[in-house]
Amino acid sequence: MFAALELGVFDGERPVGAGMVRLLEACVALGLLEKRGNEYFNTPIADEYLRRSSPHTMAGYVRYSNNALYPMWAHLEDAVREGTHRWEQSFGPTPAGGLFAHFFKTESTKRDFLMGMHGFGMLSSPKVVAAFDLSRFRRMVDLGGATGHLALAAKDRYPGLQVTLFDLPEVIEFARGQIGDRADFSAGDFFKDPLPPADLYAIGRILHDWSEDKIRRLLARIHTALPDDGALLIAERVIDEDRRGPVGAHMQSLNMLVCTEGRERTLGEYTALLREAGFATVRGAVTGAPLDAVLAEK
């Protein structure tokens, strides 16, 4: 699937190559293509998620998986032994600028990563913002919001809500190009810079990127910045309390091992971190989408 997408097969391209028929046949066996006469066509699922021009395309995530994650997963045993990500082992010395400088090394890797987040986010965000009644909030700031799918889903569901996308400068520049004036923008570092005022902060797939120390620092900053009636909305894959599943959350936790400083957690683990940061109540909701939702009220 990765190779076929990279070669443009789901966009109708059929580059000449001695292995092409085998690749097309394998895609038929995978349920991604169907053969009619001598021609191959996308199956509905491939047409929706693997064709680049589809509004629900996951092409960015597949390209990011093929080019970044797949090489790092080849070193999973070393990651398990050492408990650290595999960027240097797979791609050479750390670029200046910390963890995300790896993801954003070139314009093309930045685009693949952000569009990858976007593809998965589009599947999850409408359900994440519907998991709790957020209608009492007036201003939401999506911290590390990437292309803004969560902020825009919140605005669609709660039309009175003003939304601001906060992310690193190079991401804000990209997001502006993607969503224009549908949100306000603010560029900065959420570990250092003042957080734009809000009564609802959102962090989607942020806590799973970082060490416990950094999470504590970030949650404390968010708690301090919130008014007394404010809250924090979290979107992550949540591990079952008995840790026996779901398999997607455990695979994502291994994925976080190979590519970040973080991990996935149970609702109990999130609750402990949030209460330590000062939040009074914490609720979780399983959404049925790739990401679940947690709401912590100050």
Ligand X SMILES: C[S@@+](CC[C@H](N)C(=O)[O-])C[C@H]1O[C@@H](n2cnc3c(N)ncnc32)[C@H](O)[C@@H]1O
Q: Rounded to whole angstroms, how far apart are CA atoms 264 and 90?
A: 23
CA distances from residue 98 to 103, 115, 220, 260 in whole angstroms, order as listed: 10, 21, 21, 11
Q: Which of 6, 25, 82, 189 binds ligand X (CB under 6 A)?
A: 189
User: Catalytic residue at 75?
Assistant: no
User: Both tokens of residue 275?
Assistant: 């209460």
- Which residues neighbour 262 within 8 Å (Cβ) at sequence distance 6 or greater? 207, 208, 209, 210, 211, 215, 256
112 binds ligand X (CB under 6 A): no
Whose Cβ is closer to ligand X: residue 85's or residue 205's? 205
Size of the site for ligand X (CB under 6 A): 16
Stretch that binds ligand X, among 70-78, 163-171, 220-228, 237-245 (CB under 6 A): 163-171
Q: Which of 126, 174, 172 minimizes the C-alpha distance to 149? A: 126
Cite the beta strand spans of 184-274 per DSSP E. 184-187, 200-204, 231-236, 238-239, 265-266
Stretch that binds ligand X, among 14-22, 56-64, 74-82, 167-175 (CB under 6 A): 167-175
Q: Rounded to whole angstroms, how far apart are CA atoms 258 and 252?
A: 10
277 binds ligand X (CB under 6 A): no
Q: Which of 60, 119, 144, 284 binds ligand X (CB under 6 A)?
A: 144
Q: Which of 155, 248, 145, 135 minimizes the C-alpha distance to 188? A: 145
61-100 mask for ligand X (x: CB under 6 A)? ---------------------------------------x
Q: Rounded to whole angstroms, how far apart are CA atoms 240 and 55?
A: 32
Candidates 75, 208, 223, 250; catalytic one: 208
- What is residue 194's DSSP assignment? P
CA distances from residue 271 to 15, 49, 212, 296 in whole angstroms, order as listed: 52, 34, 13, 8
121 binds ligand X (CB under 6 A): yes
Q: Which of 70, 191, 212, 272 binds ligand X (CB under 6 A)?
A: 191
Stretch that binds ligand X, among 33-41, 66-74, 80-88, 198-206 (CB under 6 A): 198-206
Q: Which of 199, 209, 264, 292 binds ligand X (CB under 6 A)?
A: 209
Q: Which of 137, 190, 201, 270 binds ligand X (CB under 6 A)?
A: 190
At residue 210's C-alpha, the angle toward residues 178 and 141, to 5°, is 40
Stretch that binds ligand X, among 18-26, 38-46, 204-212, 220-228 (CB under 6 A): 204-212
Alpha carbons within 13 angstroms on the beta-carbon side of residue 118 total 23
Which residue number places its CB atom closest to ligand X?
A: 144
Q: Which residues bind ligand X (CB under 6 A)?
A: 100, 117, 121, 144-146, 167-168, 171, 189-191, 204-206, 209
Active-site annotation, residues: 208
